[in-house]
């Protein structure tokens, strides 16, 4: 049987923020579908309109990277840890990185996996 080679870059360098598999993570939230990720707003409703999270009438349908972190870890001290991890991986602000015209869903998911959030 051939030996399996695993690139060190493929492995997260951070411990998981949530150990329990039933708890929501950014990877689970955005990993449902490319439609769960957006640019230009932290949150959007199902019609694609920017959403004010304080509006109790609507639940976000899609999220940018910071919106996803804030949604998943909104009542958890891991919010700041997740933001720091993402900031350490990027060479620019998170919003500028997320909203870059060249940014793809795969780029976002690779970042989420590297940060183990």
pTM of the model: 0.82
Q: Angle at CA 42, nearest 5°, toward 40 and 47?
A: 75
Which among 97, 33, 24, 28 has a CA at the least distance from the CA of 65? 97
64: containing domain: 37-115
The total domain count for the chain is 1
Token pair recorded at residue 4: 């399996």
In a domain, residue 63? The reply is yes
CA atoms within 13 A on the CB side of 60: 24
Per-residue pLDDT tens digits of the chain, which is 117 residues long: 445 444 455 456 778 777 666 789 999 999 989 999 999 999 999 999 999 877 778 889 999 999 999 999 987 889 999 999 999 999 889 999 999 999 999 999 999 999 999
In a domain, residue 111? The reply is yes
Which among 19, 17, 32 has a CA at the least distance from the CA of 82? 17
């Amino acid at each position: 049987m051939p030996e399996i080679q695993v690139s060190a870059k493929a492995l997260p360098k951070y411990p998981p923020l949530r150990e329990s598999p039933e708890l929501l993570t950014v990877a689970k939230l955005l990993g449902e579908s490319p439609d769960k990720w957006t640019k230009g707003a932290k949150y959007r409703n199902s019609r694609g309109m920017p959403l004010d999270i304080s509006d109790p009438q609507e639940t976000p349908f899609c999220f940018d990277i910071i919106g996803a972190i804030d949604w998943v870890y909104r009542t958890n001290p891991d919010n700041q840890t997740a933001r720091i991890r993402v900031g350490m991986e990027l060479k620019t602000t998170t919003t500028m990185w997320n909203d870059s015209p060249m940014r793809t869903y795969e780029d976002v998911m690779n970042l989420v996996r590297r940060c183990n959030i």
